[in-house]
Amino acid sequence: MTGKNEGPLVLGIETSCDETGVGIVRGHQLLANQVASSVDEHVRFGGVVPEIASRAHLAALQPTLERALAEADVALDDLDAIAVTAGPGLAGALVVGLSAAKTLAWSLNKPLYGVNHLIGHIGVDQLDHGPLPTPAIALLVSGGHTNLLLVNRLADDVRSIGTTIDDAAGEAYDKVARVLGLPYPGGPAIDAAAQTGDRQAIRFPRGLTARHDRAKHQFDFSFSGLKTAVARWVETEQLADQPIPVNDVAASFQEAVADVLTAKTVAACQHFGVDQLVLGGGVAANSRLRTLLAERAAAAGVTLRRPRPAWCTDNGAMIAAVGVELIEAGIAASSLDIGAQPNLAVEEVSL
């Protein structure tokens, strides 16, 4: 067992989409983080196929768990608790992780904590930068989610203040990449292409930034119109037999996404009088988003905490980190009867 001053030793399991993650954390210290990705199996389909993802989790979970235990140099009996993603995510994929976590918790007689995947993207930052000062604003951007959150206490007081009303940012990246003939996943491909493009070449629309939109959707996002604008621009050029400047289109699209995300996020900090900001989610690895948000946060006197790029994608360590928060906050453990919650609300930190 862990010593009193070391913090609880928690195993985290993450299987919400196409990464099988197992992490082990003691307090805010990372001991192990092992990830097996099935992304290569989805490439030819241009997106994640749920059945393929579930089968990949089944195959990968035990060896990933064994690698994590070896990396951390701990035994299962040493653990203080098991934390697992309960949602949101793909139903079948979530069930694989939950089944494994419940089995471990029952057989080891350890408490189980069903964790919100999205909150994990905030909690993982603490493994790099220590406890999160609160209140804080959190910007979560991924393939399936784009959220602005007011975090008063990570364990049980997270409030949604903005979300996407259509496509998530990462979803728009995948769709635009397909239009440009770039590979899946679209985020890294567009970011790479944009490095040699002119981000001012094309003025693509900024969703929900007009005055009448801001009145109703002050901190909400919309990327469907932007995606459509890119597709129409490319189609028009193709009909005119013009070559498509892929790098310029990628850079201009990426600038439109980063501009809206950063402007609304900093505005939220100012609106709520919060000077702490944390970035998380798969799109948080995007180079332009990280740079522009750092610039605008600094200009507004806001302290920005950015996870290292390796922490942006799904992993078990982020789930273990939230498990530690729940234990230290005195939150009751979950029942072994909890089920997968594919549409779990972001305010529900745990089940």
Which residue has tokens 């990830």? Answer: 35
pTM, 2 dp: 0.93
pLDDT band at 3 (very low <50, low <70, confident <90, very high): very low
Q: What is the mean pLDDT of residues 262-275?
A: 98
Instruction: Label residue 296 by pLDDT band (50, 70, 90).
Output: very high
pLDDT tens digit string along 162-209?
A: 999 999 999 999 999 999 999 999 999 999 999 999 999 999 999 999
pLDDT at 6: 81
CB atoms within 10 A of CB 206: 18
Mean pLDDT of 264-278: 98
Round to whole Å and give the CA distance between 40 and 183: 11
Cα 101–chain centre separation: 21
pLDDT value, residue 225: 95
Give the DSSP per-residue string, 5-50: TT--EEEEEE-SSSEEEEEEEETTEEEEEEEEE-HHHHGGGTS--H
- Sequence length of the chain is 351
pLDDT recorded at residue 310: 84
pLDDT over 90 percentage in the chain: 88
pLDDT tens for 83-97 read 999 999 999 999 999
**For the residues 53-67, what does the mean pLDDT come to?**
96
Which pLDDT score is estimated for 4?
Answer: 40
Residue 270 has pLDDT above 60, yes or no: yes
**Residue, of 45 and 314, whose pLDDT is higher:** 314
CA distances from 30 to 6, 246, 249, 318 (A): 12, 40, 40, 10
What's the average model confidence in pLDDT over 282-299?
96
Q: Which tokens go with 78?
A: 């040493």
- Residues 21-43: tens digit of each pLDDT: 999 999 999 999 999 988 888 87
Residue % of the chain over a pLDDT of 70: 99
Ordered structural domains, the chain, with CATH = 9-124+315-328 (3.30.420.40), 136-307 (3.30.420.40)
Q: Tens digits of per-residue pLDDT, 237-256?
A: 999 999 999 999 999 999 99
pLDDT tens string 96-109: 999 999 999 999 99
Contact 315, 321 (CB under 8 A): no
Which stretches of 13-168 are DSSP H helices? 39-42, 50-72, 91-108, 117-123, 126-129
Q: Which of 272, 288, 335 is nearest to 105 (CA)?
A: 335
Tokens matching residue 197: 């493009």
Checking if the pLDDT of 228 tops 60, the result is: yes
pLDDT in the model for residue 71: 98
Cα torsion 116, 143, 197, 221 to 10°: value is -80
Structure confidence by residue, pLDDT tens digits, 115-144: 999 999 999 999 999 999 999 999 999 878
Residue burial 155-182, b: 16+ Cβ < 10 Å; e: rest: beebeebbbbbbbbbbbbbbbbbbbbeb
Cα separations (Å) of 205 from 98, 139, 210, 228? Answer: 41, 21, 10, 10
Report whether pLDDT(2) > 60.
no
User: Can you tell me the distance from the alpha carbon of 175 to that of 188, in angstroms, rounded to the nearest whole number?
Assistant: 13
DSSP state, residue 261: H
What whole-number distance in Å separates Cα of residue 100 and Cα of residue 58?
A: 9
Q: What is the pLDDT of residues 65-76, one digit of tens each?
A: 999 999 999 999
Tell me how far apart the 2 most distant CA atoms of the chain are, in Å: 70
pLDDT at 262 over 70: yes
Residue tagged 């694989």 (tokens): 96
